[in-house]
Amino acid sequence: MKNEKKSYHHGNLAESLLEAVDELATKFGLEAVTLRACAKIVGVSPSSAFRHYADKRALLTAFATKALDQLSASMEAAKEQATKNGEHEFSAVGLAYIEFALDKPAFFRAMWREETTYTNDKDYMAATNRLSSHLQGGFGETIADDDPDCLSPEELLAWSSVHGLANLFVDGPVDKGQSKEVKLITAKAMISTLSSAFTKA
């Protein structure tokens, strides 16, 4: 009980539980996540955890929402920094997408797992729409875009390429066992090849 009171007083329990999801999912996969296990990691009673999240699916919905928001923020920051420094914007945004997956594989895996999320949750829907606006808006406003309300062939190519490579890094055979630095070299080479086809001058 003492640890529980300390958690409430000094921190955000809801956020701490999401951090516990990240810890468990990174080590053992999303399937290993339970509210009770997360409560144990945080040091609170299961009943305290259930006061914040009604069930495991609600917990994973919040986790997926956080993932979507963080990826959107990463893309926004990359675009802003590249513009400020006069760097290639598409390359920066594409690399930010892949680096997010490498740095936060559990978040990356959770984003669109409809079987583990309440897809009609208002916060999840808002986060999904925010990220969709980046992807549909010229892939973070870095390629020509005539219709921001749908994905053009160029935007689909950009998204599927960076998402596919990110997935191959996280769960597939590409550069398996290699360092993050090696993987980023591979990513930069692919993005450079991709960007030459349709990015803004």
Q: What CATH number is given to the structural domain containing 48?
A: 1.10.10.60
CB 142 within 8 A of CB 79: yes
What is residue 44's DSSP assignment? -
Q: Are 58 and 116 in contact (CB under 8 A)?
A: no
Whole domain around residue 192: which residue ranges?
A: 65-198
Average pLDDT value for residue range 78-106: 95
Same domain? 123 vs 28: no
Beta bridge partners of 199: 143
pLDDT beyond 80 at 37: yes
Could you tell me if 123 and 185 lie in one domain?
yes
pLDDT computed for residue 199 by the predictor: 52
For residue 159, tell me if it sits in a domain: yes
Burial category of 146 from C-beta neighbours within 10 Å (exposed 0-12, middle 13-18, buried 19 and up):
exposed
pLDDT bin (cut points 50, 70, 90) of residue 99 is very high
Segment 92-96 mean pLDDT: 96
Count Cα neighbours of 137 within 13 Å in the Cβ-side half-sphere: 13
Mean pLDDT, to the nearest integer, of 180-192? 96
168: number of Cβ within 10 Å:
16
Question: For residues 36 and 106, what is the distance between their CA atoms, to the nearest angstrom?
Answer: 19
Residues 32 and 93 in one domain: no
pLDDT in the model for residue 3: 45
Encode pLDDT of 7-20 as tens digits.
Answer: 443 359 999 999 99
Mean per-residue pLDDT of the chain: 90
Are 125 and 154 members of one domain? Answer: yes
pLDDT at 46 over 70: yes
**In total, how many domains does the chain have?**
2
Q: Report the pLDDT averaged over residues 127-144.
A: 91
Residue 59 lies in a domain: no
Q: Could you give the 3-state DSSP secondary structure of residue 37? A: helix
Tell which phi-psi region holds residue 138, choosing left (phi > 0), alpha (psi between -120 and 50) or beta: left
Q: Is residue 60 part of a domain?
A: no
**Does residue 27 form part of some domain?**
yes
- Residue 133 sits in the same domain as residue 77: yes
DSSP 150: S
What percent of the chain has a predicted confidence (pLDDT) above 90?
A: 79
pTM of the model: 0.89
Predicted local distance difference test score (pLDDT) of residue 195: 85
Which domain CATH number covers 183?
A: 1.10.357.10
User: Could you tell me the pLDDT band of residue 198, with boundaries at 50, 70 and 90?
Assistant: low
58 found inside a domain: no
